[in-house]
């Protein structure tokens, strides 16, 4: 089976982890600081808070922005459930903004319309979470302009977009957002096994997220309200969590970050070959906005909707041919749990059209030319049938 994604671990990665195992620190220590520095310098951002996974990063990002009961948080329906769950963790309400039918990212036009009616109804969102699907940045300048106009904050769910660029600057520099989040799950661009990071240029948000990462407990006197009891004194100033990353994970991450450019270049090379091979086929591929440079976490094809059963047939045929194809994603509000919250089919028609035809095909740095040729032939044959 050729999987849809796979990590790439070098001997240098292995050595970096072993070195930590033989050092004084296992959990959050000097290797986490070094990893945060590596991500900051790759992205050109001022502050980084490494955590146990991107779901945790989204959670503390929402909390740092003050999301709580009575607040509204909006995200894309075409994402992993974590982009929406983070708002529910904070007791807020979540809602979904439909996607652009070409790029599959949150549509600035649909967002503008939804904001307009929300304003009239007095239920504007506190935070909007755009998702850079498959590694292609959303139209951040347009989203930022709406944030200025309607007064909401932006958390970029950039889980797929480590190493991507928007308008010739790295995704993660937070030029158009308050906070950006990366995931380091093994199928993503670089991995720490499990891991995530929250990036921001705002020192107060960074300090709050760092506090929330370790139980809300601080040893920093500037953050304390009470009198010190002595040199042992620490103070819990808010309700936090244990969302720390380990030094083993961080060492793996720093070693992986040194190959970020090579990883993304290889992914883009493979994607370009797919683009070329699929140029005149009876299916479409994710449209690329010329302002963006995707990191190609995923390569998504879209089988036209004319025949609703077609996608299932093509999908099953590709699996029979030994391709570990996948589907990213079921619209979040169609998940059973969200249906129980009252969401109904029909909420986001473009997202539902997308869902009816989308298939993610294999793409990862270690995909050989021969395996890619097999994938290309199988996809063309399966759709033709
Ligand atoms: C993977 C992913 C997450 C969650 O990442 P974890 O590190 O597994 O918690 C969140 N959002 C999106 C879009 C993802 O793909």
Q: Judge whether 217 and 234 are in contact, CB under 8 Å.
A: yes
Per-residue pLDDT at 302: 95
- Report residue 88's pLDDT band, with 50, 70 and 90 as the boundaries: very high
| CA–CA separation, 326 and 339 (whole Å) | 23
Using most ligand atoms within 8 A of CB, pick from 51, 83, 179 the residue to mutate for ligand 1.
83
Indicate if ligand 1 lies below 6 Å from the C-beta of 183. Answer: yes
CA of 229 to the centre of ligand 1 (A): 41
- Which ligand 1 atom is the nearest neighbour of the CA of 183? 7
- Cα 212 off chain centre by: 20
Distance 231 CA to ligand 1 centre (A): 40
CA of 282 to the centre of ligand 1 (A): 31
Query: Measured from the CB, is residue 196 less than 6 Å from ligand 1?
Result: yes
Residue nearest to atom 6 of ligand 1 (CA): 54
How would you classify the pairing of strands 165-166 and 169-170? antiparallel
Q: What confidence tens digit (pLDDT) does each residue in 209-227 have?
A: 999 999 999 988 888 888 8
Q: Is the pTM of this model over 0.85?
A: yes
Q: Mean pLDDT of all residues in the chain? A: 96
Q: Measuring CA to CA, how many Å separate 15 from each of 6, 11, 20, 235?
A: 20, 6, 9, 37
Cα torsion at 244, 250, 252, 257 (round to 10°)? 130
Residue 155 Cβ inside 6 Å of ligand 1? The answer reads no
CA of 43 to the centre of ligand 1 (A): 19
Mutate to test the pocket of ligand 1, among 51, 52, 53, 54 (most ligand atoms within 8 A of CB): 54
Q: How confident is the model at residue 305 (pLDDT cuts 50, 70, 90)?
A: low
Distant-in-sequence, close-in-space partners of 49: CB < 8 Å, separation ≥ 6: 36, 57, 60, 197, 198, 199, 206, 209, 210, 213
- Cα(120) to ligand 1 centroid in Å equals 33
Ligand 1 center–CA 371 separation, angstroms: 27
Q: Is the pLDDT of residue 308 over 70?
A: no
- Ligand 1 centre to CA of 312 (Å) is 25
pLDDT, tens digit, for every residue of 113-161?
A: 999 999 999 999 999 999 999 999 999 999 999 999 999 999 999 999 9
Atom of ligand 1 nearest to the CA of 83: 11
Query: Which atom of ligand 1 is least distant from the CA of 195?
Result: 7
Of the candidates 106, 127, 124, which has an alpha carbon nearest to the alpha carbon of residue 63? 127
Q: Is 192 in the pocket of ligand 1 (CB under 6 A)?
A: no
Distance 191 CA to ligand 1 centre (A): 12
The arithmetic mean of pLDDT across residues 99-107, rounded, is 98
Answer yes or no: is the C-beta of 82 below 6 A from any ligand 1 atom.
Answer: yes
Alpha-helix residue ranges (DSSP H) falling in 200-328: 203-213, 247-257, 260-277, 310-320
């Amino acid at each position: 089976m050729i999987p849809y994604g796979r990590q790439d671990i070098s001997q240098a990665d292995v050595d970096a982890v072993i070195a930590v195992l033989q050092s004084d620190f296992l959990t959050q220590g000097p290797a986490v600081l070094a990893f945060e520095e590596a991500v900051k310098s790759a992205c050109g951002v001022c502050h980084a808070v490494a955590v146990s996974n991107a779901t945790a990063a989204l959670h503390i990002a929402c909390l740092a922005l003050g999301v709580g009961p009575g607040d509204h948080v909006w995200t894309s329906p075409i994402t992993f459930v974590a982009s929406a769950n983070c708002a529910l963790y904070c007791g807020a309400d979540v809602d979904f903004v439909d996607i652009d039918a070409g790029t599959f990212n949150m549509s600035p036009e649909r967002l503008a319309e939804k904001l307009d009616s929300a304003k009239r109804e007095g239920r504007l969102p506190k935070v909007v979470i755009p998702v850079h699907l498959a590694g292609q940045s959303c139209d951040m300048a347009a989203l930022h302009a709406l944030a200025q106009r309607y007064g909401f904050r932006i958390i970029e769910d950039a889980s797929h977009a480590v190493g991507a660029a928007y308008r010739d600057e790295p995704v993660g520099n937070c030029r158009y957002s308050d906070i950006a989040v990366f995931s380091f799950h093994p199928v993503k661009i670089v991995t720490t096994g499990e891991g995530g990071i929250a990036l921001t240029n705002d020192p107060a948000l960074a300090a709050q997220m760092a506090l929330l990462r370790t139980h809300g407990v601080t040893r920093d006197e500037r953050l304390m309200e009470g009198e010190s009891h002595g040199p042992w004194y620490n103070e819990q100033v808010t309700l936090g969590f244990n969302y720390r990353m380990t030094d083993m994970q961080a060492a793996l991450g720093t070693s992986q970050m040194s190959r970020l450019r090579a990883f993304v270049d290889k992914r883009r090379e493979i994607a370009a070959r797919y683009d070329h091979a699929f140029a005149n086929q009876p299916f479409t591929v994710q449209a690329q906005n010329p302002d963006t440079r995707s990191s190609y976490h995923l390569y998504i094809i879209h089988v036209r909707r004319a025949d609703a059963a077609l996608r299932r047939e093509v999908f099953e045929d590709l699996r029979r041919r030994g391709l570990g194809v996948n589907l990213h994603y079921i619209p979040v509000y169609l998940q059973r749990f969200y249906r129980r919250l009252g969401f109904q089919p029909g909420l986001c028609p473009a997202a539902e059209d997308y869902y009816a035809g989308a298939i993610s095909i294999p793409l990862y740095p270690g995909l050989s030319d021969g395996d890619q040729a097999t994938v290309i032939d199988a996809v063309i044959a399966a759709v033709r049938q």
